């Protein structure tokens, strides 16, 4: 991890097209501005973690809920037997 000290108004450049600017420094945190192309996703780590956890919980199969859903599904009527093919001996 690269650790840098920056003052208000100073910038960091990542690659050719991402610029991070220190906007404000307070006792409870630092405000930064991020200038990046639209195709570059910029997310807070805690939001990504919360979304990932919620997705995993939603994707988990709850056996009791699955059994309840199966009980609601109508049963299909049995298919009629296929007619017998006439034999060549007749």
Q: What is the pLDDT of residues 14-33, one digit of tens each?
A: 999 999 999 999 999 999 99
User: Domains in the chain: how many in total?
Assistant: 1
Q: Is residue 80 part of a domain?
A: no
Q: Is residue 83 part of a domain?
A: no
Q: Is residue 25 part of a domain?
A: yes
Q: How far apart are CA 6 and CA 53, in angstroms?
A: 34
Q: How far apart are CA 64 and CA 68, in angstroms?
A: 6
| pLDDT of amino acid 89 | 64
Q: What tokens were used for 42?
A: 């910029």
- pTM score over 0.85: no
Q: Is residue 90 part of a domain?
A: no
Q: Residue 81: how many CB atoms within 10 A of its CB?
A: 6
Q: Is residue 35 part of a domain?
A: yes
Task: Give the domain extent around 43.
Answer: 1-60
Nearby residues of 30 by Cβ (< 8 Å), 6 or more positions away = 22, 24
Q: Residue 6: how many CB atoms within 10 A of its CB?
A: 14
Q: Is residue 27 part of a domain?
A: yes
| pLDDT of amino acid 65 | 76
Q: Is residue 82 part of a domain?
A: no
Q: Is residue 70 part of a domain?
A: no
């Amino acid at each position: 991890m690269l650790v840098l000290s920056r003052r208000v108004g100073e910038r960091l450049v990542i690659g050719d097209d991402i610029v991070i600017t220190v906007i404000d420094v307070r006792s409870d945190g630092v405000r930064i501005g991020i200038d990046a192309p639209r195709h570059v996703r910029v997310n807070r780590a805690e939001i990504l973690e919360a979304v990932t956890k919620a997705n995993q919980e939603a994707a988990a199969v709850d056996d009791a809920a699955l059994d309840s859903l199966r009980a609601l599904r109508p049963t299909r009527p049995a298919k009629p037997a296929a007619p017998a093919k006439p034999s060549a001996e007749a």
